[in-house]
Structure formats: structure tokens, C-alpha cells
């Protein structure tokens, strides 16, 4: 097992490097880099990323201009959009500011050397360290990701087991209908419905619509702080859970059905073992292998993806919104720094997932399978 873990850890290095290379090449090919962003700001044609979410802004990544190559004030051709009328020396200074006075290969090499030391640099447009920005947004994303993942598993596993045991019954049919509805409705649409119904929309005003805590949170006692925190995250977490429990419930049900129909279950029943002992003493370990082992990957998926619209609807400033704004504004240090860090976490948690297979079922031996 130790040799297997060592190989997996060594495999993380080329995998992470390949992901960074592919994304670096794609980003370099995309129009509207940070130099063009700064040119747009100087000329007053840039639009803040938050305005785009509401659909009121233009495209700051592509400032208003004509051709990509337009004459500069000194008669020289500029390779940047919107550079007409600007002094070429100013353009060169902007390039130097963002490191674009160096060729792409040199920029990538310098970036990776810094990332190996977990030095992600400063944001181009926020004048703050990338690490500080991520740490500021972490409480929102961890709250959404952790509670959503826990609730999805706490709902899906018992419900999936109950559906498998009662396969074909009325309970199985009507719960399947509920699951289909939950799977069909996008989480952000359900979030809008919750706002309309319970957050001061057209009906009730029971829940807050901004932030993780109240402004008076610092003056509350600890029980009051806990209740205030749960009060604020109730609606966004509910909206994310609705869209996440359906597939896991069906996976749990199908896993149990497959195990229940195997020979060792029939043998246990023939020996007169109680149904509960058969279900939780024998079937559970085998059926839950694929479900529980996927918990680390599920947590990463919920934590860092798919929460942008939920954050916008409930005015939560988390990693989803940070990533969106970084992509729109071409804030490369934030984009690549977060990509590197979270990809590394995802790869390491993939190894943790393999270890969970062994914890759940010690009969699994990756070395023997490889041989």
C-alpha cells in the first residue's frame, strides 16, 4: 500500500503540471488580457464585473475598439484593442507592470517556480495578495460546501437504502417522483423561489438575504451567534441540497439492490439471520463502498463549483464570485493561483478517496490488483 501511495503522490506532479500548461495556453489565446483591461480603464470603457451579473454592463474583457492592430499616437501599430491615441511608452509600462514584456514561456516558468513555493503573488486589479483574497472568501464557500455535502449524504444514504428495501412499493414510486422534480429544477431557480417565498419576496420575510452573519454578530453570545449563522445559511444551503441529493440517492439505491440480489445475501437469509443484521452487517459495507469513498471528491465539487449563482442570489461573497470576477477581468494571478491550489487539493483528496476504499473494505488491495 505504501508503494501505491508513493506512486500516486508522484503522479500528482505531472498531472498538476499538465493542467496548468493546458489552462495557461488557453488563457493566453483568449482575447482581452490584463493589458487590454488596463487600457480600457484608462480610456474609461471598462465595466465592472459585478455589473455584468445583473446584465447591465458591456464586456470589459473586450473594450470598445476597432481592429486588433490599430495605429498608436506615434504612428506605430499596437497589438492591443483600444490602444488608439495612447502613448506607446505607456503601453510598454503597462506590459512591464503585468509581466507581459516577457515571452509566454518565461512567464509560465516564473509562475510555476513561485507556485511550487506557494507564492501566488498579488491580484492585478485588487492590490491584494491572492492568498488573502482566497482566505477572505473561504468562510462562505466552506459553509456552503461543508453543510451541503453533509446534508446531501445524510439525506441520500438513508433514503436510498429505504428505496432499495421497498423497491417497487408506493414509497419507492412517490419518492422517485420527488427526486425527479428535485433533479429537474436547477438549484438557482429553487433559490429564487425560496427568496420569493421566505426572504421578503412576495410572501414571508423569515430569513435574511445578505451575508453569513448579522451586523451585530460580534456583540452576541455564542449560542446566539450559532443560531444567527444557521439562520443566514438556511436558504442557500437548502437550494444547493435540492439539486444535489437526487443522483446520490439513486446511486445508493442501485448499489444496495445489486448487493441484495447476490448469493451471499440469499445464503444469510437461509441461515435465519435477521434482516436488519443482513442489511447493515453484510450488505451495507459492500454497497456503500462506492458511495462513501466518493465523499472527498463530492466535497471538493460542491465547495469550488456550481455556487456562483447561489452566491449572487443570496449576496454571499465567496470563491464562486471571486473566480467569476477574476475570469471576466482577466486577473491572471487569481485565476492561476486558485486553479493551482484547488487542483492540488482535488488530486490529494482523490488519493484520500482511495484510502477510504481500504478503510471501508480491508479486503481491497491496490498492490494485488496491480499485480
Please tell me the distance from the alpha carbon of residue 226 to that of residue 220, in angstroms, as a whole number.
9
Tell me what the mean pLDDT of segment 144-173 comes to.
88
Please tell me the distance from the alpha carbon of residue 227 to that of residue 210, in angstroms, as a whole number.
16
pLDDT category, 370, cuts 50, 70, 90?
low
Share of the chain above pLDDT 90, in %: 12
Grouping H, G, I as helix, E, B as strand and the rest as coil, residue 70 is strand
Domain ranges of the chain: 2-125, 131-370
Tell me what the mean pLDDT of segment 350-370 comes to.
71
The contacts of residue 10 (CB under 8 Å, 6+ apart) are none
**Which class would CATH give 131-370?**
mainly alpha
Annotate 85-116 with b (16+ C-beta within 10 A) or e (fewer): ebeeeebeebbeebbbeeeeeebbeebbeebe
Please tell me the distance from the alpha carbon of residue 21 to that of residue 28, in angstroms, as a whole number.
11
Contact 307, 240 (CB under 8 A): yes
**pLDDT tens-digit profile of 10-61?**
999 999 999 999 999 888 777 777 777 777 777 666 555 555 454 434 344 4
Which helix or strand (DSSP H or E) is residue 311 part of?
helix 308-313
Please tell me the distance from the alpha carbon of residue 353 to that of residue 355, in angstroms, as a whole number.
5
Q: In the numeric block, which cell numbers belong to residue 348?
A: 490529494
Q: What is the DSSP letter of 280?
A: I
Q: What pTM value is reported for the model?
A: 0.73
Q: What is the DSSP letter of 58?
A: -
Q: Considering Cα of 21, then 26, then 28, then 32, what sign does the dihedral take?
A: negative
Q: Give the closest residue to 311 by CA, choosing from 60, 139, 56.
A: 139
Amino acid at each position: 500500500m505504501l508503494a501505491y501511495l508513493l506512486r500516486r503522490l508522484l503522479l500528482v506532479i505531472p498531472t498538476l503540471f499538465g493542467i496548468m500548461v493546458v489552462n495557461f495556453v488557453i488563457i493566453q489565446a483568449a482575447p482581452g488580457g490584463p493589458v487590454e483591461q488596463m487600457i480600457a480603464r484608462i480610456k474609461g470603457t471598462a465595466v465592472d464585473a459585478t455589473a455584468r451579473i445583473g446584465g447591465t454592463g458591456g464586456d470589459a474583457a473586450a473594450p470598445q475598439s476597432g481592429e486588433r492592430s490599430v495605429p498608436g499616437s506615434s504612428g506605430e501599430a499596437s497589438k492591443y484593442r483600444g490602444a488608439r491615441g495612447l502613448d506607446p511608452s505607456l503601453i510598454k509600462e503597462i506590459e512591464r507592470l503585468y509581466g507581459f514584456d516577457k515571452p509566454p514561456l518565461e512567464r509560465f516558468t516564473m509562475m510555476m517556480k513561485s507556485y511550487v513555493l506557494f507564492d501566488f503573488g498579488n491580484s492585478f486589479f485588487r492590490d491584494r495578495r491572492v492568498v488573502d483574497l482566497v482566505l477572505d472568501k473561504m468562510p462562505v464557500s466552506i459553509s456552503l460546501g461543508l453543510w451541503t455535502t453533509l446534508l446531501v449524504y445524510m439525506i441520500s444514504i438513508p433514503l436510498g437504502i429505504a428505496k432499495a428495501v421497498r423497491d417497487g412499493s408506493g414509497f419507492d414510486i412517490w419518492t422517485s417522483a420527488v427526486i425527479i422534480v428535485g433533479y429537474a429544477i436547477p438549484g438557482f431557480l429553487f433559490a429564487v423561489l425560496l427568496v420569493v417565498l421566505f426572504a421578503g419576496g412576495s410572501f414571508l420575510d423569515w430569513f435574511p438575504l445578505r451575508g453569513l452573519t448579522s451586523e451585530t454578530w460580534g456583540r452576541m453570545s455564542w449560542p446566539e451567534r450559532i443560531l444567527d449563522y444557521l439562520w443566514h445559511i438556511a436558504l442557500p444551503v437548502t437550494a444547493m441540497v435540492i439539486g444535489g441529493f437526487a443522483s446520490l440517492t439513486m446511486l445508493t439505491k442501485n448499489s444496495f439492490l445489486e448487493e441484495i440480489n447476490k448469493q451471499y445475501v440469499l445464503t444469510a437469509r437461509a441461515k435465519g439471520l435477521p434482516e436488519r443484521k443482513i442489511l447493515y452487517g453484510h450488505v451495507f459495507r459492500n454497497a456503500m463502498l462506492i458511495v462513501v469513498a466518493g465523499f472527498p471528491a463530492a466535497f471538493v465539487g460542491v465547495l469550488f463549483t456550481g455556487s456562483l449563482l447561489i452566491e449572487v442570489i443570496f449576496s454571499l461573497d465567496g470563491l464562486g464570485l471571486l473566480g467569476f470576477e477574476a475570469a471576466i477581468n482577466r486577473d491572471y494571478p487569481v485565476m492561476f493561483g486558485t486553479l493551482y491550489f484547488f487542483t492540488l487539493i482535488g488530486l490529494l483528496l482523490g488519493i484520500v478517496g482511495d484510502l477510504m476504499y481500504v478503510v471501508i473494505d480491508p479486503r481491497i488491495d491496490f498492490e494485488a490488483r496491480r499485480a
